[in-house]
A and B are shown apart, each in its own frame.
Chain A
């Protein structure tokens, strides 16, 4: 179980726009072990989606480019392999589900064709076998009348159904890693629960590791083994899911957890983290979170802290805890 499947080390992805360079991902290190579900949490623009697109090497239609670090998948740096080799991995070993089920399916092709495409490409099935496999996948993700669905177009399906189709498509070749980029964000709450349930089922029946990108801590609590919290392109905290909720260390993580409404609590107002994510052109020199941090000290504005291990398997990027450790060492 603890064998690493995906090892991202010091990944740096920059966007080269007209107004200069935007550092979207700034030295991110994440490991996903076989069969494990890792949550990546953070606000919009913290670099979590860009990280996932970097893994898939799907930045080609954007001005983004990986400028440093390595992404090892099964001990092979996939940033260095050829595009042809990468195509053999995409959809086959690493599959992806996107945030927008409404627009992620091609409107002019039938569901069946879109499912069969990847099956025929990677599993080398003939048309008949691919068709059967596609129907089986639709049944597996709990879609009724799978046979008829094969001949329908995306516009005939609801958002929840489309996301199920996307999951069927992603799971069709039994990937070793499934990257789910906000898979439930665009859906109704009841449908969200169904999709999460489906993903949990799939996780239990297959050996697929899941990298779940979300800003929803409820989803994290439900699904994940381990959590990585990102802020402004960097990992600020990483630990197992229980520790994260019981003993969050980084002020940002605390803020995130505090801003989730709790049942039975009669708070007049929800806690929220003041301010906004710093714009890429206006990054603070020191800790990126300092301008919004309740506990910010003077040195926080000058020193950008490193990610350090405070306890067993609990990584935090905050001067508050670096000091503690220094004290312990002394």
Chain B
């Protein structure tokens, strides 16, 4: 188990290396000239060339890449072209709001997704099931920015219970978390429903009932733990969706997070910030996959890590 873990952690390094090449190439393929943007609209061609030299953008692309990688090993991600502050500081400042937004929307998604999924599976083809699956299909189909705007309209503008955006208190988390988590909750609900419906037909469920266990104990204990394996895989994948979703949601809710930083950086062709942030997203994705793999071992005793 420990050896598996270490092996996987070491395995992250080559993956990140390959990812960094792609990120670097893609970022440099974005049309537009950062030197022009930094120098300003009225700058002469000479000024622009000076800025280009200052930023190191005049060097051949492979040299630029090596500088970028060299910086990473030294813990130096460069300086933002836009604000002239270290990229590390720019990202660190915005990491926690996005991290908590992701965590809370995941908590929301898991609680509601499981609840709806289990109720739908146990009340198959009854009104609870139809209502739950209506909610789930809606959750998948509704675009998150639209859901966000509707929620703002109802709970912030009309009722005045919650803030329209920004990050001031715990209340600020509610609307963005629900908006971001709705789609994931819907997917979890559907997966849980179909997975649990299959599991509830298994012989060991009947054994559990034959022991005299309560229905809740059979479903939530014996059933759900078995039904969780596909749900966990899918939930891990949905984290990627959350990362992408957070870019939209953070714009809708003026959230001081990584998503908005990315939008701003792309608009300004802020190469160092984009690169560092993409690399961070890639790392997050890899870590989540590792967590999912470890969770399998907890859920399914037959999986052994060697």
* Interface positions of A (Cβ within 8 A of B): 56, 58, 60-61, 87-92, 95-96, 98, 100, 103-110, 117-118, 121-122, 153, 155, 166, 169
In the bound complex, CA of A155 to CA of B301 (Å): 9
**A58 B226 Cβ-Cβ under 8 A:** no
**A105 B204 Cβ-Cβ under 8 A:** yes
Q: Which of A90, A107, A109, A153 is the one whose CB lies under 8 Å from B211?
A: A90
Nearest CB on A from B225, distance (A):
5
* Interface positions of B (Cβ within 8 A of A): 200-214, 222, 225-226, 299-302
In the bound complex, CA of A88 to CA of B213 (Å): 9
**B203 A100 Cβ-Cβ under 8 A:** yes
A-B complex: 7 closest residue pairs judged by Cβ atoms: A91-B212, A91-B211, A90-B212, A103-B203, A118-B211, A106-B204, A153-B301
**A61 B206 Cβ-Cβ under 8 A:** yes
List the B side residues contacting A107 at CB < 8 Å.
Answer: 204, 226, 300-302
Which residue of chain A lies nearest to B300 when distances are taken between CB atoms in the complex? A108
Nearest CB on B from A259, distance (A):
29
| Contact sample, A vs B, 16 pairs, CB 8 Å cutoff | A56-B209, A58-B210, A87-B213, A91-B213, A98-B203, A98-B206, A103-B203, A105-B204, A106-B204, A109-B225, A110-B301, A118-B211, A118-B212, A121-B213, A155-B302, A166-B207
List the A side residues contacting B213 at CB < 8 Å.
Answer: 87, 91, 117-118, 121
List the A side residues contacting B222 at CB < 8 Å.
Answer: 106, 109
**B210 A56 Cβ-Cβ under 8 A:** yes
**Interface contacts beyond A91-B212, A153-B302: sample of 10 additional A-B pairs, CB < 8 Å, sorted by A:** A61-B206, A61-B209, A98-B206, A104-B206, A104-B207, A107-B301, A107-B302, A108-B299, A110-B301, A117-B213
**B301 A104 Cβ-Cβ under 8 A:** no
List the A side residues contacting B210 at CB < 8 Å.
Answer: 56, 58, 90-91, 95-96, 98
List the A side residues contacting B212 at CB < 8 Å.
Answer: 87-92, 118, 121-122
Interface centre among B226, B299, B301, B302 (most CB of A within 10 A): B301
In the bound complex, CA of A91 to CA of B204 (Å): 14
In the bound complex, CA of A110 to CA of B300 (Å): 11
Nearest CB on B from A251, distance (A):
35
**B208 A106 Cβ-Cβ under 8 A:** yes
In the bound complex, CA of A153 to CA of B303 (Å): 12
List the B side residues contacting A110 at CB < 8 Å.
Answer: 301
Known interface pairs A87-B212, A92-B212, A118-B212. Does A106 touch B302 (Cβ–Cβ under 8 Å)? no
In the bound complex, CA of A105 to CA of B302 (Å): 14
In the bound complex, CA of A89 to CA of B213 (Å): 11
List the A side residues contacting B226 at CB < 8 Å.
Answer: 106-108
Nearest CB on A from B229, distance (A):
9
**B205 A61 Cβ-Cβ under 8 A:** yes
**B202 A103 Cβ-Cβ under 8 A:** yes
In the bound complex, CA of A169 to CA of B203 (Å): 15
**A117 B211 Cβ-Cβ under 8 A:** yes
**A98 B207 Cβ-Cβ under 8 A:** yes
**A87 B301 Cβ-Cβ under 8 A:** no
Interface centre among B200, B201, B212, B214 (most CB of A within 10 A): B212
Nearest CB on B from A136, distance (A):
18
**B204 A90 Cβ-Cβ under 8 A:** no
In the bound complex, CA of A58 to CA of B201 (Å): 12
In the bound complex, CA of A185 to CA of B137 (Å): 45
In the bound complex, CA of A60 to CA of B201 (Å): 11
Nearest CB on A from B124, distance (A):
10
In the bound complex, CA of A90 to CA of B226 (Å): 23
List the B side residues contacting A104 at CB < 8 Å.
Answer: 203-204, 206-207
List the A side residues contacting B200 at CB < 8 Å.
Answer: 61
